[in-house]
Structure 1
């Protein structure tokens, strides 16, 4: 036999093997075919014929392989990948932070004069649960009203003191000084200042009222 005859024997056997293993899973058939190709590779015609005889009928090989294949192959199900935890919202966007900021704005100035109010104003300004106009109203309006009230109290006190001093200089007894009817009483301006101070806690409570129903964003 020639080398060509050996190739012919090998190709014919492999063709019969492929036909017999048509019903096998692709992976099993590929492994069997690859092993037989390695065994027949490089043999002459006589050795090829002898090796084919030892290997046996391709139908028997396929039947033996089929018996070893499980009827219901196990299905490997990948374990579900847990979704990464949702990122926690920043502290400035939580309701707890907003409530603390509003309360600090309302009453911080009573606990620590001036500084407490400024701390509350800063906390309110960095909270994300209020709109910009709400922050402006709660912080700027009480501050401006209180500053204007304080200025008016000081100014009117100065005017009243000047008026009293001038009357005393003309020889009019102090107990007979007639108040200028065009000027409000001194106590009225203090009431105005008190109202300005009351706007500060009221602004914080107003922010708490505006906070209802809002969540972190």
Structure 2
């Protein structure tokens, strides 16, 4: 068996576990899922297969979790789940990330980015993509705008420039801002919400 077989087994088991845990209180379900995912990470295919066999059916794991929450003190412990581990916090973080910049320009987006980075329901790569992608696209569009402005200025040397017509580079910078504010960042916020399904 190859590493891809191990990854496929892990993904399949965790997907079935997510479905089985959908009626378990969110904090407890997250804790169970995270623990099992961490336990299966980095194992070869044969070891993953053996460990999954030992863990048993995801529905059985969910039933045991349901019976645990009926014990005295478990519900109280559930209430002590840190805010950053809660689904409501993650939803709020994604919404602030997507639309905070419309309410308080720049600062609103920064607050949303910090909340997303602090949220525990997204994987690390999801948070990196969400926060870094707007910067990367903004830098790319800005660089392209500068190149276009440089080329157009060389082509128009000796020609009189109409001040009422913005230069291509300036247009590119405006387009970058509009793209980030109106399309890309809200789209990433929606993507973050979509990634929360079954978590």
Q: TM-score, normalised by structure 2?
A: 0.51
Match of residue 127, structure 1, among 98, 115, 119: 119
Are 2:149 and 2:169, in contact at CA under 8 Å, matched by a contact in 1?
Answer: no
Shift of 1:143: 1.7
Shift of 1:93: 0.8
Seen in structure 2, the aligned counterparts of structure 1 residues 126 and 186 have a Cα distance that, compared at 3 Å, is closer
Partner of 2:148: 156
Are 2:148 and 2:169, in contact at CA under 8 Å, matched by a contact in 1?
Answer: no
CA–CA separation in structure 1 for the residues paired with 2:92 and 2:83:
11
Are 1:156 and 1:186, in contact at CA under 8 Å, matched by a contact in 2?
Answer: no
Partner of 1:76: none
Are 1:150 and 1:193, in contact at CA under 8 Å, matched by a contact in 2?
Answer: no
CA–CA separation in structure 2 for the residues paired with 1:192 and 1:142:
10
Match of residue 210, structure 1, among 184, 195, 198: 195
Match of residue 86, structure 1, among 65, 76, 83: 76
CA–CA separation in structure 2 for the residues paired with 1:131 and 1:93:
12
Structure 1 position 167 matched with structure 2 position 158:
yes
Shift of 1:190: 5.1
Partner of 1:195: 179
Match of residue 137, structure 1, among 111, 119, 129: 129
Seen in structure 2, the aligned counterparts of structure 1 residues 144 and 185 have a Cα distance that, compared at 3 Å, is closer
Shift of 1:185: 9.0
Partner of 1:21: none
CA–CA separation in structure 1 for the residues paired with 2:103 and 2:184:
16
Trace 1:1-217 onto structure 2 (pairs within 5 A).
Answer: 83-84=72-73, 85-87=75-77, 88-164=80-156, 166-168=157-159, 191=175, 194-197=178-181, 198-214=183-199
Partner of 2:35: none
CA–CA separation in structure 1 for the residues paired with 2:91 and 2:83:
12
Structure 1, residues 64-93: CA drift from partner, whole Å, max 9, x if none? Answer: xxxxxxxxxxxxxxxxxx822432211111
Q: Count matched residues.
A: 120
CA RMSD of superposed structures (Å): 2.8
CA–CA separation in structure 2 for the residues paired with 1:185 and 1:101:
34
Q: TM-score, normalised by structure 1?
A: 0.47
